[in-house]
Amino acid sequence: MQRAFLSFFLLVFALTAGLNEARATVRATPSAFFKDTIVVRLPNQATLTLVVRDAAQLRELKKYQLDSLTSRLASYITQAETAAKNGKSEQVTMEFYPDKDQPGKNMPEQIRITTHKPSANGPSNKVEVLLEKKTGLVINIDGRNKSTGRDARTPEQRQAHRDSVRLKDLEKRSTKSHLILDIGLNALVNQKSVAGQSDVDLRTEGSRYVNIGLDWDARLGGKRSPLSLTVGPEFAFNNYMLNGNRQWVNENGRTSVILNREGRQYQKTKLATSSINLPLMLRLQLRDSHYKPTFTIGAGGFVGYRIKSWTKVKYTSEGTTYKDKEDGSYNMENFQYGLQGTIGYRSLEFFGKYNMNPLFKANAGPDTQVLSFGVRLLGID
């Protein structure tokens, strides 16, 4: 860093002596006093800004012993860096007054140095030199051009900084949470024929599955381990909508699917349930060279309990639309258990869920199980 600042001030000295090898941009800023700003962009991505009131003041810069200031500045920088390294805060600002230390030698009135704790890609340092109360020289090595607001770092440097931030966050967080939303469909599988009963024929697009939950991932292994254990409460809603003019009925202690007996034409007829579930899954999350999530896969099981169930039919009679709803258990199993898994790439993830328990109690309804599948949307991470 000392060499960098030495180069900066040698460049200023050359500039004030009349050399023009460096590329400079001159701006005039309207104010009560006309001020000229000279911005020098150096090859190492640093910027040097010189603010003067007028051209005459610029010519007077030669009287300041900027060449001898560089050796003094090196000592100041060393002190500031030591203070930042040993200090408790992330940033340390120190002020020096060379003109008071050596009166009459045309030394700068004030030097302010802001330093940060050493970091590979963190914020760098800033030096402000006040020659007089109205003349200032500022050296920024913070990677940002103050006049344009554009990042002056190279794309490689910006990428390295982003990678460092992601890696730090990855290693720091041993647990994280996901607000999840699953949207998909239900299907009845492993149906067994029952004498006098036809198989249940579901309307695919109407048999929807919605699941809302808050899952916690606990990392297994080291700071960069891709394995984690997922657990969390989830609330699921299942719709089983029938095809044709059929309806769910509960008669004589048994739930069945029958044709409409009242001469109505049903537009919709469904059996719906709500339940609370607790999943337990092992999750593998891979990342690319920039520590961004890529391929993910999870597998495990779940247990749950049915909260409520009801049937609903929709039909039109004499120009009026009716929606009849009836609550009841419909002989459905209260406790649920099964297998589930997820697979995805980056922000796109799919889920599958298989209920190992029958949907209805034994000999009290269709002998079948439920398979749910669809897309998983991740929210808060």
The pair of three-digit structure tokens given for residue 97, joined into one six-digit string: 């007054």
pLDDT tens per residue, range 203-257: 999 999 999 999 999 999 998 999 999 999 999 999 999 998 899 999 888 999 9
Pairing of strands 47-52, 91-96: unpaired
pLDDT tens per residue, range 52-67: 666 666 666 666 666 6
* 262: CB partners within 8 A, 6+ apart: none
For residue 372, the one-letter residue type is: S
Q: What mean pLDDT comes out for the span 132-143?
A: 51
Whole-number percent of the chain with pLDDT over 70: 70
DSSP three-state, residue 124: coil
Using CA atoms, how far apart are residues 113 and 82, in angstroms rounded to an integer? 12
105 neighbors 68 (Cβ within 8 angstroms): no
Pairing of strands 266-287, 135-140: unpaired
- Judge if pTM exceeds 0.85: no
